[in-house]
A and B are shown apart, each in its own frame.
Chain A
Amino acid sequence: MADCSRQLQEQVRTASAERRALAITGGGTKVFLGRRPVGEVLDVSAHRGIVSYQPVELVLTARAGTSLDVLEAALQEHGQMLAFEPPHFGPGATLGGTLACNLSGPGRPWWGSVRDQVLGIRLLNGRGEHLRFGGQVMKNVAGYDISRLQAGAMGTLGVITEISLKVLPQPALTLTLVQAHPPATAITRMNQYAGEPRPLSAACWLDGRLYLRLSGAASAVQAAAGQWGGDRLAAAEATAFWSALREQQQAFFQPALRGETPLWRFSVRPNATLPELPGAWVLDWAGAQRWYRGTGEPARMETLAAAMGGQVTLFRNGERRAEVFHTLPGALQTVQQRLKRQFDPAGIFNPGRVYGWL
């Protein structure tokens, strides 16, 4: 529980004056993401603690270095949750890193992403100014949405120091159904179910099985489970399944965790036809987030992603000095470069972490 913003501000000012690159770090659990970090470590993890939490307002404000464990425990006490179910990817994962990487779990299509739940932030820009954007209220359209702009920027625009979030009540009942389907049928079914007014909260196809999670009022959950059918997982088994999926602990992910094979993430149209590839797939987010384990030429993978209406990222392993995010058209590169310069004129924040040209 410490406010270290003054120290962070000093470090930023010094680095800016000396034009030294900073590698912004929280719990260090996402260091595998993006391109290889360069520069001197700016450790944000000591700047932690919940600043305010009013359960009745559904709003929580915490310093960026606060660990997800601490937040989840505080919310649990009041029967609430981080609706975006953030993956931790290791002990000590922080809120700041979660927003910077825009990481959300299985409930994302229905409960929103971390970006969706952000209400406001404080940010140290490249001039070392400590700025506040957004607020602690659900609706706020004064000024540009600088808070959500940070989602996915991986710290290239500044040091996020504080975040206000919308939180949600935990559902009264959660139930997981399992149906056996080949992938093409699973894609059809997931999209069909997602189009029905039922309390679907996760839909994932893994290893020949479609896992459907229902969350909400007991009456609605039971009715939908009866209509859709399938084997019901025991509560503990279901919790373990979704947690292992979110944390990439399922057997499917193990070769990638051991560094043996590349892991690709496709963010695409949920009903897009699955391309023929030699490796293995997991389909999450009702088909909108697809994990592919196997080698592939980046250009070829981008062509496949574009055909599915979206983008591909080399999520784990492979050559991390090369580009790992989907190639952007020149006009969008220019826009991002100009924006970066407006926040970070000396180019000190996580240079090259997202793209080599940023």
Chain B
Amino acid sequence: MSKSPPAREALAARLRACVGSQYVIEDAETRRPYECDGLAMYCELPQLVVLPGDVAQVQAVMRICHACGVPVVARGHGTGLCAGAMPHPEGIVLSLARLSAILAIDPEARTARVQPGVRNLAISEAVAEYGLYYGPDPSSQIACSIGGNVAENSGGVHCLKYGLTVHNILKLEVISVEGEKLDIGSEGLDSGGMDLLALFTGSEGLLGVITEITVRLLPVPERARVVMAGFDTIQAAGDAVGGIIAQGIIPAGLEMMDSHAIVAAEAFAQAGYPVAAKALLLCEVDGTDAEVQEHSTRIETLFRQFGATSIRTSRNEAERALLWKGRKSAFPAVGRISPDYYCMDGTIPRSQLARVLTEIDRMATEYGLRVVNVFHAGDGNLHPLILFDANVAGEFERAEAFGGRILELCVAVGGCITGEHGVGIEKIRQMPVQFSPEELAQLEAVKQAFDPQATLNPGKGIPLLKRCQEYRTLEGHAHG
């Protein structure tokens, strides 16, 4: 479906008057790059793409769309992995890419006030001269926008010690669906009354449009070091993770890879990974020189006690970067061994790891697809990569069904369907697995408080109840 040409032209004319004609994209070819986010399987062409240049223009665009009942899908840099920024066929994409200024840095108070289109890594680069950085570091941090990070409550490899986006922001400026400006939070660490800052973080663009963010900054640790260890079994590696925590050490990062991931990453990055190992742990500790020495020695000893078959500790920054390179390039490495892959994002209690991976292996055989596992072992966030070939009829549908089963398994063992990628469109079918109809109704009621006409990112995040019934019926058939 699409709007009649006269209706679209009339809307475009009003928006052009707000933001300037060069910032309203109307032709199909130029709209095309906005048809999807990082999850390219889900595509839709929007009516228009609008790129406001300041907050007043965002407000003006929102007022027009509100008056006309036009859906608005806010977009940062389009790196999201849940189709949360996929356009609505009846609506506009509101790109915040031009709002890309770092407005103020207060090195003494350790904060920065930034616009939503600023790249995550650009914040750390801008404050590096003060010995500070911004904590959350999603894999896409070179490209992803801080506005998108807030919308998804993004994590990264350092969450266990330094927290998620919600732990690292102080204040938001939000434009409501009616175009009204809301200031949420303050320059202090908390504000009176219910915590709206937390509610907006991770709300996937369903409650408002974020136009300014005040982030907290952390002092750059004196030193960081990685201890890498190979294990004969997933179970042994999982036990070693528990052993570190039991010692009272909170690593800055703690990543696990299975044998398929080790082989693929080593072929891609030549990081010196033990390719015969069944599981690999990368454990990063940071702090003062003396502290890092103390902790890395203790971790080496622990890994030996838990049966590590090989251990290697970085001796300098170059070696640390090399050891991380394998893990950080795991996705592109998998891209070389398979035409397509589908990345899942379930979270599980760590104690369930061996059970979950065994079950995933069994399901892989059932679906006739290969799967590669990388895991934020410190915080229980599992990223199974399901390999498939989109050119083979039915393979994507099989991958999608397999993915859905993995998420249901995560919920069954006490976890959740998404740790950091968000629900978007991709996982909306699994929401009824994690939430009861009453819980979904309460979530929908929250949406109603902000956006009663449901024009903000419609169809994402929270399934409408009548849809849930359909999903349940479908699932019933699928499972036979």
Residues on A facing B (Cβ under 8 Å):
54-59, 79, 102, 108-109, 112-113, 115-116, 125, 129, 131-133, 135-146, 148-153, 156-157, 168-170, 172, 188, 191-192, 194-199, 216-220, 223-224, 266-272, 285, 288-289, 308-311, 313, 325-326, 328-329, 331-332, 335-336, 338-339, 341-343, 354-355, 358
Q: What is the minimal beta-carbon distance from B357 to any residue of chain A, in angstroms?
A: 16
Asked whether any CB of chain A lies closer than 8 Å to the CB of B350, the reply is yes
- Over the window 432-474 of chain B, the binary record of Cβ atoms lying under 8 Å from chain A Cβ atoms (1 yes, 0 no) is 0011101100110110111000000000011000000000000
Q: Are B199 and A54 in contact (CB under 8 A)?
A: no
Contact of B446 among A144, A188, A224, A329 (CB under 8 A): A144
Q: Are B192 and A108 in contact (CB under 8 A)?
A: no
- Over the window 174-193 of chain B, the binary record of Cβ atoms lying under 8 Å from chain A Cβ atoms (1 yes, 0 no) is 00100011111011111111
Listed A/B pairs (18) with beta-carbon separation below 8 Å: A56-B242, A115-B195, A116-B167, A139-B347, A139-B376, A141-B420, A142-B423, A144-B202, A144-B443, A145-B203, A170-B248, A195-B108, A195-B131, A198-B219, A219-B294, A220-B291, A311-B191, A354-B193
Q: What is the minimal beta-carbon distance from B403 to any residue of chain A, in angstroms?
A: 15
Contact of A152 among B153, B191, B203 (CB under 8 A): B191
Q: Are B194 and A129 in contact (CB under 8 A)?
A: no
Contact of A267 among B181, B186, B194, B196 (CB under 8 A): B186
Bound complex: CA A311 to CA B449 (Å): 25
Bound complex: CA A185 to CA B275 (Å): 56
Residues on B facing A (Cβ under 8 Å):
106-111, 130-132, 152-153, 155, 159-160, 163-164, 166-167, 176, 180-184, 186-196, 198-199, 201-203, 207, 219-222, 242, 245-246, 248-250, 287-288, 290-291, 293-295, 347-351, 376, 378-381, 414-423, 427, 431, 434-436, 438-439, 442-443, 445-446, 448-450, 461-462
Q: Are A195 and B219 in contact (CB under 8 A)?
A: yes
Which residue of chain A lies nearest to B434 when distances are taken between CB atoms in the complex? A142
Residue with the greatest number of chain B CB neighbours at <10 A, chosen from A116, A145, A146, A354: A145
For A338, the chain B residues whose CB sits under 8 A away are 449-450
Q: Are A142 and B416 in contact (CB under 8 A)?
A: yes
For B220, the chain A residues whose CB sits under 8 A away are 197
Q: Are B190 and A150 in contact (CB under 8 A)?
A: no
Q: Are B245 and A288 in contact (CB under 8 A)?
A: no
Q: Are A137 and B416 in contact (CB under 8 A)?
A: yes
Q: Given the interface contacts A57-B349, A311-B186, does A137 sit within 8 Å of B419 by beta carbon?
A: yes
For B186, the chain A residues whose CB sits under 8 A away are 267-268, 309-311
Q: Are B194 and A339 in contact (CB under 8 A)?
A: yes
For B421, the chain A residues whose CB sits under 8 A away are 141
Which residue of chain B lies nearest to A169 when distances are taken between CB atoms in the complex? B248
Q: What is the minimal beta-carbon distance from B151 to any residue of chain A, in angstroms?
A: 10
Beyond contacts A129-B438, A343-B445: 18 other A-B pairs, Cβ-Cβ < 8 A, are: A79-B248, A132-B436, A135-B347, A137-B415, A138-B159, A141-B202, A142-B435, A143-B435, A153-B193, A169-B248, A195-B219, A220-B288, A269-B188, A289-B188, A332-B184, A338-B449, A339-B449, A341-B449
Q: What is the minimal beta-carbon distance from A303 to any residue of chain B, in angstroms?
A: 14
Bound complex: CA A219 to CA B422 (Å): 40
For B202, the chain A residues whose CB sits under 8 A away are 141, 144-145
For A102, the chain B residues whose CB sits under 8 A away are 190, 195
What is the number of contacts between chain A and chain B, taking CB atoms within 8 Å?
A: 284
Q: Are B194 and A325 in contact (CB under 8 A)?
A: no
For A136, the chain B residues whose CB sits under 8 A away are 349, 414
Q: What is the minimal beta-carbon distance from B168 to any residue of chain A, in angstroms?
A: 10
Q: Are B435 and A152 in contact (CB under 8 A)?
A: no
Contact of A109 among B108, B111, B189 (CB under 8 A): B189
For B153, the chain A residues whose CB sits under 8 A away are 141, 145
For A339, the chain B residues whose CB sits under 8 A away are 194, 446, 449
Bound complex: CA A268 to CA B196 (Å): 18
Contact of B351 among A56, A135, A139 (CB under 8 A): A56
Bound complex: CA A139 to CA B136 (Å): 13
Q: Are B191 and A267 in contact (CB under 8 A)?
A: yes
Which residue of chain A lies nearest to B110 when distances are taken between CB atoms in the complex? A195
For A354, the chain B residues whose CB sits under 8 A away are 192-194
Q: Are B291 and A332 in contact (CB under 8 A)?
A: no
Q: What is the minimal beta-carbon distance from A173 to any residue of chain B, in angstroms?
A: 11
Bound complex: CA A115 to CA B185 (Å): 14
Bound complex: CA A188 to CA B107 (Å): 12
For B167, the chain A residues whose CB sits under 8 A away are 112, 116
For B248, the chain A residues whose CB sits under 8 A away are 79, 169-170, 172
Which residue of chain A lies nearest to B347 when distances are taken between CB atoms in the complex? A137
For A58, the chain B residues whose CB sits under 8 A away are 245
Which residue of chain A lies nearest to B346 when distances are taken between CB atoms in the complex? A137
For B294, the chain A residues whose CB sits under 8 A away are 217-219
Q: Are B462 and A143 in contact (CB under 8 A)?
A: yes
For A308, the chain B residues whose CB sits under 8 A away are 187-188
Q: Are A55 and B131 in contact (CB under 8 A)?
A: no
For B435, the chain A residues whose CB sits under 8 A away are 132, 142-143
Contact of B188 among A132, A142, A144, A309 (CB under 8 A): A309
Contact of B287 among A131, A199, A313, A325 (CB under 8 A): A199
Q: Are A125 and B419 in contact (CB under 8 A)?
A: no
For A137, the chain B residues whose CB sits under 8 A away are 347-349, 379-380, 414-416, 419
Q: Are A142 and B445 in contact (CB under 8 A)?
A: no
Which residue of chain A lies nearest to B161 when distances are taken between CB atoms in the complex? A168
Bound complex: CA A355 to CA B193 (Å): 8
Which residue of chain A lies nearest to B381 when distances are taken between CB atoms in the complex? A139
For B132, the chain A residues whose CB sits under 8 A away are 195
Q: What is the minimal beta-carbon distance from A7 to any residue of chain B, in angstroms?
A: 19
For A151, the chain B residues whose CB sits under 8 A away are 190, 194-195, 198
Which residue of chain A lies nearest to B417 when distances are taken between CB atoms in the complex? A142
For B160, the chain A residues whose CB sits under 8 A away are 138
For A115, the chain B residues whose CB sits under 8 A away are 190, 195, 198
Q: What is the minimal beta-carbon distance from B140 to any residue of chain A, in angstroms?
A: 15
Q: Are A129 and B442 in contact (CB under 8 A)?
A: yes
Contact of B291 among A144, A150, A219 (CB under 8 A): A219
For B221, the chain A residues whose CB sits under 8 A away are 197
Contact of A271 among B108, B164, B246, B291 (CB under 8 A): B108
Which residue of chain B lies nearest to A287 when distances are taken between CB atoms in the complex? B109
Q: Are B449 and A55 in contact (CB under 8 A)?
A: no
For B159, the chain A residues whose CB sits under 8 A away are 138-139
Q: Are A57 and B351 in contact (CB under 8 A)?
A: yes
Q: Are B287 and A216 in contact (CB under 8 A)?
A: yes
For B192, the chain A residues whose CB sits under 8 A away are 152, 311, 313, 325-326, 328, 354
Which residue of chain B lies nearest to A194 when distances are taken between CB atoms in the complex? B110
Residue with the greatest number of chain B CB neighbours at <10 A, chosen from A108, A131, A289, A325: A131
Q: What is the minimal beta-carbon distance from A242 to any residue of chain B, in angstroms?
A: 18
Bound complex: CA A195 to CA B187 (Å): 16
Q: Are A150 and B422 in contact (CB under 8 A)?
A: no
Q: Given the interface contacts A216-B287, A288-B188, does A336 sit within 8 Å of B348 by beta carbon?
A: no
Q: Are A310 and B242 in contact (CB under 8 A)?
A: no
Q: Are A326 and B191 in contact (CB under 8 A)?
A: yes
For A57, the chain B residues whose CB sits under 8 A away are 245, 349-351, 380
Q: Given the interface contacts A217-B295, A224-B288, A342-B445, does A54 sit within 8 Å of B351 by beta carbon?
A: yes
Q: Given the interface contacts A54-B349, A57-B349, A137-B347, does A149 sit within 8 Å of B196 by beta carbon?
A: yes
